[in-house]
Each structure stands twice: as structure tokens, then as C-alpha cells.
Structure 1
């Protein structure tokens, strides 16, 4: 770029000089042209004003006038001379000798201008007209024609034409400096850009990844910039590939190391397990030897129970966490093992109560069967250790928790509670220090470890104890089962009634619970239930119970349960079967698969009072009835044409159609010839009763519908057949 400037400087100076010279010459000739014009204009003025000059005959005055003309000229006038056309000089002012002999071509008729030695010589013809006596100018005479010789000496002011020359020269010089500055900046930027590119190339050579050129460069360097960026991208891609390969290799190495560590840990765990199993087997053999030594002091059943416990414990310890899980239907599992649990407690005179959660019905869990089968009887066995225990409650529930689904098993007993040693042993995880008669504790600890369960023990002196185990359920499957429609339940214990209602709600759509014999009598007549489950209280009012159970057995499937202490009395007093085995949900499920449940009767209430309808909905909410409500007769007729209702409670005073007219139209519909239609009114005189009867109504229900009157409606729902008012 600098060399280019050096090569350009001389031609530029020559061009500037030529421009300055051309400017000076142009200005010089322009000035000459302006002077010629001024001289011509001045000469023309003299021709117009020549009358006074030519009429003057005095030589001195004529010369004075010529001097006046000389000094009045804007252009320096050196000499002025007046000639006749014949060439005779009349007057002159400072006529140079060189011009005294000048003789122009005569006659001088036109203005002429010529340059003589840096001076301008102008010839201007003049004419004097003869005086007119009659007011008319006459043609000039030949001797009356003159001409002026004017010698101008223009002053040449060099500063005048040198100024534009200087300006042109200065402009050229400034332009030269600007070009030089621009070229210097361009050269400096080019040097900077080249240094940047060199630096980036050096970074690429060293393998750096941030070698992209993001700065703005000169247009000439853009291809090189693009090439460097492409090279940087390629190098970054290669680096990423290399990094990925290195990362993969590191991951592979880490996996190999992890596998090696896992193998080592598994090997150590296996060695530890083998050692533990060896010690456990040795301990079991010692326990079996102790049991053999004590065999003569034990009954056959006690010896068999202790031997079975030791063998179960040995099998659990051998299997450990490797025991395979199998699908187990929870309700069937409980029904199978509850008999074993009851037999254990019968020997000690302890009453067994079983409570199953609503989530147990149709629930299939996947757990090691040996562990689960061993845990349930051993928990019952452990609970019976409490001194003074007379009643034991076993609860089995499937519960949803924040951490997941768990199977909760708990044994609650009355009496004095567990001993401190038993609580201490349960809170430890060591089974090797336990004696042969503590196999139930050892089995629970082994099952807890195998199933990764949580165990809690609570015991208060004089208030009994509770042992609870929570088992996580990684796999839970819902198994479909037939659901009953309505069950009637009796339980004299209010707390147990609530628990059993919740439990039975899993297998029935509606559970009617009661804890009083009078309430049971009332509810038993309201509807023919699918199942009736009675947990008989202490024997009392045996005749009433005998009559009620006989009637219930004739209408529904009846299940009766009694405590062991009262079983003989109840079996002697009642004509139905009374069971001692604790009630379990599997019993209802098995019955439900063999029978088809009846649906709830469908009741339609027609009333234009929203308060009455809201109150009826509240009353019917807990009753075995499907309820529909409308507020006018037209809607009632429309619904009855599309659906079938078992009972219709019909208001008499409706806003659109009178109730009796609605009843007449209903009797004309197919399927409603014998459906019970009940008049719903606040009053009914004898003639009104006759009108209702004539319209086809079956009974009268007086407003408001109180709980006592509700039984009248439910009776019609239970019967499901027509009857007359009479």
C-alpha cells in the first residue's frame, strides 16, 4: 500500500501542477477577455458622447477633454489621440513616439482592437453631424468623420491570478495528505489484521480450540479469515471426537473398575454369607441338640411346633434374599393361614379378632411365600407371649404411603405387655444368640431382613402390646372380583363396627351397619340384602335372636360369628350355623362368585320445591336406593318413557301438570301398569283420596318426608309390587 502511494505521488504532483497552470492560463485569458469587453464598452460610450468633443475648436480645450477621457477610464488609459479620417492628428495626450506614425487602414468605419507590446490599441470611429436650421439633421460631410486612437495599458496583478493557482495547489496537497493518511490507516489495519491471522494460525498450530476469527477484517483478507475459521471448526470437531472417544474409554475403564469392585464386593459378601450361614447352621444344630435334650419335657405338639420353627428358621437363613417371589392373592392367603393362627391361640384360651383393610380385596402381591407364611403365625405366637393376654387382634392392610405401597401387619394384645428381653431381642438383628424356644423371634427377624421390612414394637405395662411390620410391595396387581350390591352388618362393638364397615366396602357397593338389636330388626325389613353378617354379642334375648336369624336366613345368605366363650350357647339357641373361625373377606368373595346380586330399586321423586328435593337426597344418601329427582310433571313423563323406575313419589301440586294427571299418563306407559306410585302431599281429604285412587296411585306420603315416614317409602321400594289404598 505504501509503495502504491509512492508510485502515485509524482503523477499526482504533475497533475496538480498542470491543474494550477491551466487555472492560471484560464484566469489570464479570462481577464483579457473582460478587458476587451470593457474597452469596447468604453469606446462605444465615447462615440455616443463625442458631439461635445468634435464641436470644440480650441486645441487646448480639446486636449483637456481628451485628458479627462483618459483619467475617467476604468482601465488605465495611456494615450488618447483624435484623428480625422484623412489621417490628420487633431489632438493627443502623451502619444508615444512608436504610435505617432501608426496609420491604420482608412477610413476607420468600425471599432477595432489590437495588442501592441502588452498594450491594447483601440480605434473608435466618430461622426459629427452638420447643424440643422430647419430641425433636421443632415448627412455628415466627408470631412466631418473622425476616429479616436486609444492606447490602454492594463495593470497585470499577479496576486489576482496567483490566488486561484495557490488554492488549486493547496487543495491538491491536502488531497494528497488525505490519501496518504487513508492509505496509512489501511496499511496499519492490514498489518493488524495480518498479525491477528498469524496469531490465530499459531493457536491452531498449538491445538487451541478458541482460534476462530470473529473480528471484522479487510475485504482482501476475508477468504483467509474463512479458511482459518473452517480449519478451526474442523479442529474443534476432531477435538470433540477425540474427547468423546477418550470419555468412552474412561467410562469403559470405570465400568471395568466398577465391575471389578462389584465382583470383589460380591465375593466378600458371598464369603461373609457363607461364613454367616455356617455359623447359623452350627447354631441351628446346637438348638436342635438342645431341643432333643428337652424333648422328654415337652408334649408332642410342643416338640413338633419347636422343631418346625427351627427347620423354618434354617430354611429362611439358607435362602436369604435369594428367595424367589411368587404372586399371592392376599385374601385367600389370609383365609388359609388364619385357621393355623386360631389353633395356636385356642390352646392358650386367647380370642382372635381379624381386621382386613379395604385394599386387600382383589389385591395380588408378589412376595416370597415361605417368608410370608412363616411370619403370620409367628407374629400371633409372639403376641401370645404377653402375660394375661385374653384377646389378640390381627390387622392386615395394604396402604399407600408417600414412599410407595406397603403391606402392614400388626398384632395388638391386651394383658401386661411384653417383657423387656423380648423387646430388646426384636430390636436387634442377631438370630444366632437366640435359644431354641425363641424361634418365633428369630423367624420374625429373619423375615424382616429378607423382605427389607420395618418393625416397630410398643408395649405398656398393664395396657398390652403392639408389634407392627411394614413390608414394601414393589409389585402389586389388582385382580377383578364380583362385587356385591348390599350387605347388612351387625357388630355390637362400635369401634369394631366402623372398622368392619370400611373393610366390607371393598366387596359391596353398600354396607348397612348397626350395633343394636332393634336397629337390626328395623333394617332387616327394609330390604332383602344379598348378605347378612352377624358378629353375635354376649348371649341375651335369645328368642328374639332366634326369630330374627331364622327370618334373615330365609331371605338372604346369613353368616354368623361368635366368640369361643359363647359358641356353645349360641349354637344351642339358634337354628342357623354359627362359626368360630374369624371372619375374612375371602368368605364373601367366594359366595359372591356363585350368586348374582340384585340392583338397588330405582326411586323417582317429583317435587317442585328445591328444599324438599335437597332434604330427600340427604335422607336417601345412606339407603339402598338409586335416587332420581325432577321438578315438574313433563320432565317426569319424559324420563319414564326412556327409563324404568321401581317406585315413583309424585307431588300433587306441580307447576305444569297436576299430579293425578301425571299418574294417569304413567299408567298408560308400557311397564308402568303395576309400578307403585305414591302421592306426595301435605293433606288428603276423603274425596282427594278417592281421586288419587282413581288416578292409579297406591299410597299417600305426607309432607314433609321425615325419617319415620321414610320407612314407608323404603317398604314400597323393598316390595317392588303394587298394592291398593284400600
Structure 2
């Protein structure tokens, strides 16, 4: 602030000095102009008189004297006539050499020229007429050097005095600040040490502020002390609450552990109970309980599934879920054998079982058709259930279509299971129904496809099935597993074809009351025959078959497995030794077994049978009891001593057998008894003992 004040005073002083100098200089200039005007008037009067009487030399002498005695520097005095020609001059002015300038006027004028020169122009008037012109050229007026020196002295002295004053003032303030700093420092030390009296003088500028600060600090200390006490009490209360909460938390954890253990135990007991119920319940009840158990697991894994094999695993259970008056068809896609699918297969099986149970519950007299379509480009799998005949109720179809959106408590159990499976599969459901015409439920399931090598096909298969007994879907499944399928529409057509006994035969059995039922019974005893029948007729046909009769429908994978087993039969695969001394019986047996893939060898005596068995290994032996040399019981005992005949079936072939005799036969090592003569049922029983050996065995 002091510096700004000093600079302001210096500026005012310099401005005042400059203003004074300007006024003095202006006054000197005005005085010079007055002197020049007076001299010019004197010269005009004198020149007017001289022009009347004197000569040009007198005028020059006068002008020289006037120039010499002038009180200011006169450069030249020039007299011109009316035509502006020079009459007399003390020194010709260089201004007259500039014709472009007009230096003459009708009245007196003073011109300040450059380079410090002054020109005075005065016309000469006689009788109100211009007789000539008088030009007076002078130099600069005398400069006031004393004034400049005085101003310079003021400008030099005043800043020095001002700087000296500022220095002394700042030095005094510095000393005061140092003294105040020392006092303030001492006071701060005393205040920090807790001394109540602060050693500050009453005149110190910081005394009042420091006292206010001290008072505020005391108040804040008191407030902080009170707040600290209050916070300490609150902290103590919080600590007590924390200890109480910790105890409550420990108790809650113990209770939760007990509840968790009880829940786990209850869950385990429930699952055990459900598994027990699964074992003891009916097929549809067992599948329902299995699905409930599946939903209780929670997590669902994505699996890599080969669709034909997966269908084969599920088909048996699906056949058990439908009612006897219902029929089930399985329609597979031709592309199913070329890809593996990445999807939650268990969830898909859950949806299928739930739909089949609903169909069995609401559509008792309908034909069910399960269809599969692969959309490889869209990475989707389409599953379609068609019910032909009696349809599902409209409200059931609507709930199935909106199963994933409706609350579970509003749905029936099977629809809840269906909804769970659809959510796990991210499937889109479309359901429709027409009264008395049927229903359709379609699932569009996103999945990922992975190409795989298609399974090997069977070279040639004979199919004996009346057209009404086999559907196009079943024919399509057969074409997927065999390279060449020869279809025979009747038993007579099959017998006329005279096929090779080693080629697999697939038979779709008619009703047991069929007019050619006896011919089908004989055909079932053929080892290379695979029989299919409806579920309601299995028990009627099974006693006549040498292998299990399979229920309809059969998937492509199931048919492929069964037919591959049939392919194991070859002309040398089943070797039969018939030991009988009656040639008529030998011829009859050969005639009965001519159409079967067997290699038949005959032995007339017991010793011949032992010799043949030592040369090769037979798969089945039909042993007569009464032989001319050794009894069949003795031959059997000796054969059981051989290493290769420990497990070979040996059947007693006799006209009569009492219980004691049968016990003797089995004690000797025989497996069963065949009563003479040989007929179709006995032939079927005989073929059941034919076990094919692996190709290449001795």
C-alpha cells in the first residue's frame, strides 16, 4: 500500500512539473511572437519612409543594422515589390526558392516553419494599395535552460527522496513485524504449553485476535471433550449391541445348521421314499416319481447325445406309459444318424414322458405319433407329438402352450414337469387341438449339432409283414439300418422266396387267431428270426419264439442292435450233434431243421459221438438215452470230463422220462429233456439252446 502511495505521489509531482514547464515555454513563445511583430511593424514603417527618398543601398544598410541590433536571432530581412521581385535583402532566404509555397498574404502573418525557423510576412500598403512585401525570417527563440535544469533537478531529487522515505518506512515496518513475530511466537509457545497468560503487549495488533482465538479454542476443547464423552458412551452401547448381535448370530447359525441338517435329512428321506415308491409303483407312477426326483436335483447338464441311441433308451419306458388301447408310432429323421446333439437330453425325456402321461390320461382311444425333425441350418430340433382320434382338452392344450409363463401352482403336476423341462431346454411350445380329430404339441428346441460317422448298415434283411401291420414310419426306421430290405407281404410269399437260412428275418406277427398262426409259430423257432408284436400280444407269441419277441414300435437303433445280433448266425456258427441209432429219427430231425442256419452232424453210437467231439467242438448236442454200445448218460459223463464241453448244452432225447430219470439225466450233466417225437413247440424249445459262437472260433 505504501509503495502504491509513493508511486502515486511521484506521478503527480512529475505531471505538475511537466505542466509548469509547458506553461513557461508557451509564455516564452508568445513573448517572442510579440517582439517579432513589433520589430516587423518598425521595419514596415521605416521601409515605407525609405522607399520614398532613399536608395537601395540605404535600405540594405538599415536592414543590416536592424538585424545586428535585434534582441533575437534574425536570419534574413527581404523586401519585395508588388510583383514579388526582390528589391533588397540581407540574405536571400531559401524559402523564396520554393515556388510551390505561397508565403505572401494581404495581411500580416507569422508562420512557424520546420527546423526551428519563423517567418513573418507583412504587406506594404500605400494609399490602400500593396506596394510590396517585407519578409522577416528568424531562428528559434532563446531556450530557457535554467528551467530545464530546475526540472531535471526536481526529477532526480524527488524520486531519491521518495525512495529514501519508502525505505525508512519499510524498514520501520519490518522491525515492527519482527517484534510482533517474536511476541506471537512466544505467545504460541506459552499457549501450546498450557500457560493461561499470553505474553502479548496491549498495543500488539494480534492481541485481540489471539485472545479471541484462545477463547474459541477453549470452547472447542470443551465441546470436543463433551463430544468425546458422548461418543465413548455411544461406543460402549454399540459394543454391547455388537456382542448381543454376535451372540444372536451364533444362535441363528446354530439354528440354521440344525434346520439345514433337518432339511437335508428330510430331503434324503423324501428321495429314499420316492425311490422306494419308484420300485413298487406302476410304470406310469414310477416315471412320474422319477421326474419329480429329477426336478428336485436343480442343476441340469448339457449332454452330447446320439439321437437314435437316445430314442432306443427311452422307447421301452414310453411303451409302458401308454394304455393297451393306444398305439404309439416313432418317426425318425433320416439325418438323425449323421449328427450328435448338444442339449439337455434328460429334460427332453422329461417333457416326452409328461406329454405321454397326459395323453394316456385324457386321450385313451387315440393313436400317438412321436416325430423328430432336425433343422441343422437353424441349429434347432423339432419334436412333434400327434394325437389322432380323441384329442386333449382345450384347457390342457392352452396350459401346455403357456406352461413357461403361468404360475406353477395353477398347473397340474405333469404340466408343471413339462414346464420345468421346457425352461431347461429354452424350448418354444406350440399346441393346438380339434375336437374329436386330434391334437398336436410341437417343441422347437435350440441345440448345437456335431457331425459324426453314420453307423454301419446291415447288408440284407428280409421283412415278413402284412401291409396293415407295419406303418410307413416303421419302414423308414428299417431302411435307416439296413442296406437292402426285401419286404414279403405274406407267409406264402416268404416261403416261395426261398431265401438263404443265414440272412436275418424280421417278422411282424399278426393276431394269435390268424389263419396262418401255425406257420408263424414254426417260423419263430428259426434262430435267425426277429419277431415284433404289439404289447397286448407278446405273451401269446413268446412261447413259440427262440428269442425274445420285441414290442412295437421299435426305434432304428433298437432294430439295428437286434439285427446285428442276428447277423452273428452263420452256417458254421451253430453246430448241432444228433446222437441217435434210429435212422428214421435222424431223417426226421434233418427235415425239421433244414430251414434253420445249423450245421447238423449225426452219430449212430456213443463211441462215434465221443470220437466226433474229440475232433471238433459242437454248440449243442441232442443225446439219445438208449444207444447200442454206451448209454446216453454214460456218454454225457465222459463228455463233461473234456475241457471244451464243460458248458456246451446237452439235451436228453428220449421217448419217455420219469421224474427219477430226469434227475439222473441232470446229475450226469444234461441240461434239459426233449421228448420224442419232435414238433414245433419242442423245436422252439430246442432252438433256445442254440448259442452262436463268435466268428473264427474253432
Mark yes or no: TM-score above 0.5. no
Q: Tell me the TM-score normalised to structure 1 length.
A: 0.36
Q: Tell me the TM-score normalised to structure 2 length.
A: 0.37
